[in-house]
Amino acid sequence: MATNPQEWREETVRVAGTDLTLLQSGTGQPVLVLHEELGHPGWLRWHAELARNHTVILPLHPGFGKSPRVEWVRGIRDLAGFYARVLRERNLRPVDVIGFSMGGWLAAEMAACDAAQFRRMVLVAPTGIKPSQGEIMDLFTVTARAYLDASVHDVQNTPEFAKLYGGEQTPEQFEAWEDARAETARLAWQPYMHNPSLGPLLEGVVGLPTLLIWGKQDKVVPVSVAEVFKKSIPGAQLVVLDNCGHRPEVEKQAEFTQQLQRFLA
Amino acid sequence: MHIMSFSERAYIYVPEDEIIKNGSSYFGVPNTYFDPQKGSKLLNEYLDERVYAEELGFDGVMLNEHHQTPFCMGSVMDVEAAILARITKKVKIVLLGNPLPVGDPLRLAEELAMIDMISGGRLVPGWVRGAGSEQIANNINPAFNRERFNEAHDFVIQAWTKPGPWRYEGKHYHYRFVNPWVLPLQKPHPQIWIPGLISPETVIWCAQHRYPYVALATALEPTVEMVNLYADVAAQMGYQAGPENFGYLQNVCVAETEEKARELAKGFVFGGGFGAFARAEWMFPPGYNSKEATKRLAKAFTDPRTGTEIIRYTQGAVDVEEVKRSIEKNFQSTLENGLIIAGTPKTVLARIRFMLETLRPGIFGIWYHHGPMTAEERRTCLRLLGQEVLPAMREMAKELDLPGPYEQKPGIRPLPASGKRDPVVGIATAA
């Protein structure tokens, strides 16, 4: 999974009534990273660069392979409650947070419920709100591979993506994706990948500096969703990257990291 | 032996090329190809064929259910069953099966009770998880498929047997008020048979519940394994499994001549047949498979039932002619390995006998039609089966001692005094 195993360490902690596997790296202000619906893709360049001046804390969500399923978690709001408990028990409140895709939805649910959990919030092409135009791509009627392929605008010129997902699929990869897809189905089958009450609840959030990052050519979560988030969260900044799909952290890694460092400075 | 007729109520006018172009998948072919005039005529013909099967002496008429697919128009099987309950007189109405996870179990308990009452106690309910594509067609979370199946099963049995009114709060189902004023005529409830595609988890569950297990046109070798698995679990439960615990559904096409039978039997592989039921991403929606089944899949990357590659499928241009050549090749091999039996009554009986000797089932379903067979060809097939094949099969069943579940109650045979179970399958010899 890792490009360089020495860059990060893995530990399993007893928290919120379960065993949760955490990947950690770096020193400095802690940043909580909430991974996407197909699981943690691996330790990428942006993780490494952020870890130079931050402590990156990346939990593997319950049910996504390493961390066991938590039976009572049956929706993203349940999972948001779970992580609220994790932050409380680990004395991490308030923390900076970055959420990707479904992980972004998760962060937004946490903020909607209790914005004081976070210092600053970065949402990278989050799901969670029904697009005004277009649809969120359905993970459940395509193969994991097809979903991944659709997540990058220009596969040819995105070497890190090819490194992650190129070549023949291994049995381990297949199993990990199926675990992730199954747990995502438990969390987000219907309404698909969104919660109708999230928009109205976010409207009450004040005093939480928020950065939204989106690829202009995102085929998974249409960029029209960005406007709803921007309107709901007062003062939220929106950065839309051109020639970029659903994975700006991979496809436009340099700009992405630059935006992150600027915002979290 | 319980012998029953079966066919999917296929919409036979779907163009084969459209199935192939859809990635060799019936599921997902646009319904713009559906003509309600033709569909209406077909649905009535199919009902009439069940009445005809009764006249010909079949013990049961088996129905099944699929959704949103030309593979089977019987998307609400209970509607057909309710009609048959009234217009037939003595056949068992065998429903294999209602997909438990996708519906409302209280409503199902009521529907089935009504069918049992109207038919005068001739209902055989059977329950399934439903194929992967059924979860998508009904928008039911596949990750809870097994849990919903188990909970719905337990609920229906309770709704039929526990005096109401009572309140039910489960994990997936919730009812303020359970007090159905329609209950099955058969007491404590009708026999339940479980059909399947030899998933070990289901086979074990069946043996634990003492429900007969009916394998649906599955390959012989793994079916034998599953029969043995069932019998092992039965022995652990303290009973000896016998023919009354097992059923098999067999593709059989009979005509006046060998050539005609073979030509008609091609309908079983129309568009790819069973293997073209639904594309991999619809057959294996998220969480539908158990962890163990996912591991098995990951090892092979192929659908164990059809051998279809499940990973590298990409939508796009399909070489229809090439697919048709592979369907033809597949047809020849299914004739050779006996998955499809085609011929005159005389020739098909040899292979049927081999199947009865090998699997020793007490329930035998004859799947007599799929694909573009005319009404007349279907009736001829049924007539020949009824007049010439059935009587010979009954003799064989007697000779081989294969009681059905209405001759020998399933799940009460004692184990031999040694405590070790007797064999349940015959020794396979060449047909």
Per-residue pLDDT tens digits for A144-188: 989 999 999 999 999 999 888 887 778 888 899 999 999 999 999
- Tell me whether B295 touches chain A (CB under 8 Å): yes
CA distance to partner chain A, nearest, from residue B51 (Å): 39
Domain count, chain A: 1
Range name among A120-124, A254-258, B20-24, B302-306 with the lowest pLDDT average: B302-306
Q: Is the pLDDT of residue A243 over 60?
A: yes
List of chain B residues whose C-beta atoms are within 8 Å of the C-beta of residue A171: 298-299, 301
Selecting from A143, A183, A185 the residue whose C-beta is nearest the C-beta of B142 gives: A185
Cβ A143–B281 below 8 Å, yes or no?
yes
- Residue B262 — pLDDT band, cuts 50, 70, 90? very high
Give the single-character DSSP code of A239: E
Strands B2-7 and B363-369: parallel
- Tell me whether B281 touches chain A (CB under 8 Å): yes
- Tell me whether B429 touches chain A (CB under 8 Å): no
Q: Which one of A168, A174, A187, A192 makes the best mutation probe of the B interface by having the most chain B beta carbons within 10 Å? A: A174
What element of type H or E holds B126?
strand B123-128
CA distance to partner chain B, nearest, from residue A234 (Å): 36
Q: What is the mean pLDDT of chain B?
A: 94
pLDDT by residue (tens digit) across B175-219? 999 999 999 999 999 999 999 998 899 999 999 999 999 999 999
Between positions 100 and 129 of B, the ones with CB within 8 A of A are none
pLDDT by residue (tens digit) across A48-71? 999 999 999 999 999 998 999 999
Q: Is the pLDDT of residue B430 over 70?
A: no
Q: Quick one: pLDDT at residue A38?
A: 97
List of chain A residues whose C-beta atoms are within 8 Å of the C-beta of residue B285: 140-141, 185
List of chain B residues whose C-beta atoms are within 8 Å of the C-beta of residue A190: 139, 141
Q: Quick one: pLDDT at residue B274?
A: 87
Q: Is the pLDDT of residue B313 over 60?
A: no
Range name among A189-193, A230-234, B402-406 with the lowest pLDDT average: A230-234
- Tell me whether A175 touches chain B (CB under 8 Å): yes
What is the Cα–Cα distance from B97 to B130, expressed in whole angstroms?
Answer: 8
- Helices then strands, counting H and E runs in chain B, come out as 15, 11
What element of type H or E holds B246?
strand B246-254
Count, residues in chain B: 431
- Tell me whether A155 touches chain B (CB under 8 Å): no
CA distance to partner chain A, nearest, from residue B100 (Å): 18
Q: Quick one: pLDDT at residue A7?
A: 86
List of chain A residues whose C-beta atoms are within 8 Å of the C-beta of residue B132: none
CA distance to partner chain B, nearest, from residue A142 (Å): 5
Retrieve residue B426's tokens.
């015959």
Query: What integer is the mean pLDDT of B85-89?
Result: 98
| Helix residue spans in B238-344 (DSSP H) | 258-265, 280-283, 291-300, 320-336
Q: Quick one: pLDDT at residue B303?
A: 55
Q: Quick one: pLDDT at residue B429?
A: 46
pLDDT by residue (tens digit) across B373-400? 999 999 999 999 999 999 999 999 999 9
List of chain A residues whose C-beta atoms are within 8 Å of the C-beta of residue B295: 175
Cβ A140–B286 below 8 Å, yes or no?
yes
Q: Distances from the Cα of A92 to the Cαs of A116, A121, A225, B29, in angstroms?
A: 11, 14, 29, 52
Selecting from A142, A145, A172 the residue whose C-beta is nearest the C-beta of B311 gives: A145
What element of type H or E holds A56?
strand A54-60
Q: How large is the ipTM?
A: 0.94
Cβ B295–A181 below 8 Å, yes or no?
no
Q: How many CB atoms lie within 10 A of CB A122?
A: 27
Q: What is the mean pLDDT of chain A?
A: 95
- Tell me whether A146 touches chain B (CB under 8 Å): yes
What element of type H or E holds A32?
strand A29-34
A174: closest chain B residue by CA: B298
- Tell me whether A150 touches chain B (CB under 8 Å): no
C-alpha B394: how far from chain center: 22
Q: Distances from the Cα of B311 to the Cαs of A171, A174, B371, B426, in angstroms?
A: 11, 9, 28, 37
pLDDT by residue (tens digit) across B118-157? 999 999 999 999 999 999 999 999 999 999 999 999 999 9
State whether residue B83 is helix, strand or coil. Answer: helix
Retrieve residue B421's tokens.
């179970």
Cβ B313–A143 below 8 Å, yes or no?
yes
Q: Quick one: pLDDT at residue A2?
A: 44
Q: What percent of chain B has pLDDT over 70?
A: 95
Looking from the CA of B138 toward its CB, the CA atoms found within 13 Å total 22
A258 Cβ contact partners less than 8 Å away, ≥ 6 residues apart: none
Selecting from B286, B301, B313 the residue whose C-beta is nearest the C-beta of A181 gives: B286
What is the Cα–Cα distance from B153 to B130, expressed in whole angstroms?
Answer: 13
Q: Is the pLDDT of residue A263 over 90?
A: yes
Cβ B143–A145 below 8 Å, yes or no?
no
Q: Which CATH number fits domain B2-400: 2.60.120.200, 3.20.20.30, 2.60.120.260, 1.10.10.10?
A: 3.20.20.30
Q: Distances from the Cα of A23 to the Cαs of A31, A34, A55, B288, B380, in angstroms?
A: 12, 11, 10, 29, 68
- Tell me whether B294 touches chain A (CB under 8 Å): yes
Selecting from B285, B295, B298 the residue whose C-beta is nearest the C-beta of A140 gives: B285
Q: Quick one: pLDDT at residue A1?
A: 43
CB B248 within 8 A of CB B359: yes
Retrieve residue B35's tokens.
């003509």
What CATH number should be reported for the domain holding residue A117? 3.40.50.1820
Q: How many CB atoms lie within 10 A of CB B252?
A: 28
Find residue A29's DSSP bridge partners.
Answer: A54
Residue A110: domain span:
5-264
Cβ B141–A174 below 8 Å, yes or no?
no
Q: How many CB atoms lie within 10 A of CB A265?
A: 7
Selecting from A141, A143, A190 the residue whose C-beta is nearest the C-beta of B311 gives: A143
Between positions 35 and 74 of A, the ones with CB within 8 A of B are none
List of chain B residues whose C-beta atoms are within 8 Å of the C-beta of residue A174: 294, 297-298, 301, 311
pTM of the predicted protein model: 0.95
Strands A210-215 and A118-124: parallel
List of chain B residues whose C-beta atoms are within 8 Å of the C-beta of residue A142: 281
Beta strands in B269-396, from DSSP E residues, in sequence order: 340-343, 363-369
